[in-house]
Amino acid sequence: MEITKGKISIRQAYIIVILALTAPSLRVIPNYVARIAKEAGWETPFLVIIPGVILVYVINSLFQKHQEDSLYEVFMSVFGKTITKIIFLVYGIWIVFLCSMYLRMFGERFVGTLLFNANMRALLGLMMIFVGIAVLKKFETLGRLSEILLLFFIILFTTVTLAILPQIHLENLYPVTYYDTLPVLKSVLPVFSLFSYITPLMILGDKISHKDKLKTYGKRALYVLAAFFLMLILSTVGLFGYSVSQQFIFPYYFVLNSVSLFGNVERLESLFISTWLASDFTIVLFFLFMAKQTAQKLLPIKKQIFYVIPLCIVIYVLAVMVFRNVSQVEQFASNILYYINIGLFALIPLIALIVGKVRKVV
């Protein structure tokens, strides 16, 4: 796919989303799905395809007549200036909160798996400095880097899955009855809320080329993520059972330990964790890019550094002062994050499409 200078392709854009989602997925999905859907949790990835495809079609329809625009311009044509600015102000605030939460999750994962005695505030500050410097670079750099990192992650993840496959206990994955229908449907929420991050991605829509392929690559990305979620759930719940999996803070980390204990891949654990941390870096950088772009749409300031420095400070302070430990992050994610994500990144685009069709502007 030919890439326009100064832009990334829609394929690269979805690759960034997939890579960014690997970190929170590894952290959240096995625990949450095991807690809600129990042994039937492996059905969740199949069901999430339905709302995922609907969202892809909604986003694609919004950009049919706006191939060179960002989400901001699309909303301007649909809602008008005032409502669009209010929506983007809410988007900006929420994206900053998400960025700070994922920054804290990075810190907790780093301290919990590699440097047990590291100073959390210093670690988060160092991470924020690196992310702040990276966000001042061109967006195309992130697109190219994500292609390499995702390929590396897929190889590692597939290797671990194949190594753990003989150890999976099928009795941990059944029986499945009609009584599991409601819990499985409920477990779709956190998975779909993560996939809804394709909406804030389109805040950078004017920096993404080939949006006529948005639907095609969107569905491919959804299928890749569904396969990843399925292997992730099978590896954790299938190995430990739902009652044990729901008690782990980082369930997949114990899967890696189990692989090492079985002697299949002695040195893979540290390599996988390093890639995992790289995906943490990607999602923090992803949301900082979105926050910076949102600020640029709302405020008439040209120099990037005047957006980036205040944003980095606010994100760091929130990560240190609001999300103080793993349990607070977990509580925030379970009680608030999923519902607000779906409301902002799925329902608002759907409303925009309906209003836009009525007004004949999309």
Backbone angles phi, psi at 262, to 5 degrees: -75, -10
Select from 362, 150, 134, 167 the least CA-distant residue to 264. 167
User: Does residue 261 register a pLDDT over 50?
Assistant: no
Q: Which of 14-18, 150-154, 344-348 has the highest mean pLDDT?
A: 344-348
Backbone angles phi, psi at 177, to 5 degrees: -125, 180
Interval 20-35 mean pLDDT: 86
Backbone angles phi, psi at 9, to 5 degrees: -80, 165
Who wins on pLDDT, 273 or 262? Answer: 273
SS3 (DSSP) at 8: strand
CA distance 20 to 125: 20
Who wins on pLDDT, 82 or 330? Answer: 82
User: Does residue 139 register a pLDDT over 70?
Assistant: yes
User: Does residue 223 register a pLDDT over 80?
Assistant: yes
CA distance 36 to 24: 17
What pLDDT shows up at residue 152? 86
Question: pLDDT tens-digit profile of 163-189?
Answer: 888 888 888 888 787 788 898 898 898
SS3 (DSSP) at 66: coil
CA angle at 27 for the pair 53 and 15, rounded to the nearest 5°: 45
Give burial (CB, 10 Å; 0-12/13-18/19+) of 166.
exposed
Distance of CA 268 to the CA centre of its chain: 24
Interval 106-127 mean pLDDT: 80
Give burial (CB, 10 Å; 0-12/13-18/19+) of 336.
exposed
Please state, for a pLDDT cut of 90, what percent of the chain lies above it: 38
CA distance 350 to 199: 11
CA distance 281 to 339: 24
8-359 is classed in which CATH architecture?
Answer: Up-down Bundle (1.20)
Domain boundaries, the chain: 8-359
Tokens of 361: 């502007």
Interval 217-237 mean pLDDT: 92
CA angle at 16 for the pair 154 and 57, rounded to the nearest 5°: 105
For 196-232, b/e burial (b = at least 16 CB within 10 A) is: bbbbbbbbbbbbbbbbebbbebbbebbeebbebbbbb
**pLDDT range class, residue 272, cuts 50, 70, 90:** confident
Diameter over CA atoms, the chain: 63
What pLDDT shows up at residue 135? 87
- pTM, rounded to two decimals: 0.89
Backbone angles phi, psi at 39, to 5 degrees: -70, -15
CA distance 312 to 317: 9
- Which residues, 6+ apart, have CB-to-CB distance to 147 below 8 Å? 12, 15
User: Does residue 269 register a pLDDT over 70?
Assistant: no
Length in residues, the chain: 362
What pLDDT shows up at residue 268? 63
**pLDDT range class, residue 264, cuts 50, 70, 90:** very low
Q: Per the omega criterion (within 30 degrees of 0), is the bond before 45 cis? A: no
Distance of CA 199 to the CA centre of its chain: 11
CA distance 153 to 72: 32
CA distance 39 to 18: 26
User: Does residue 275 register a pLDDT over 80?
Assistant: no
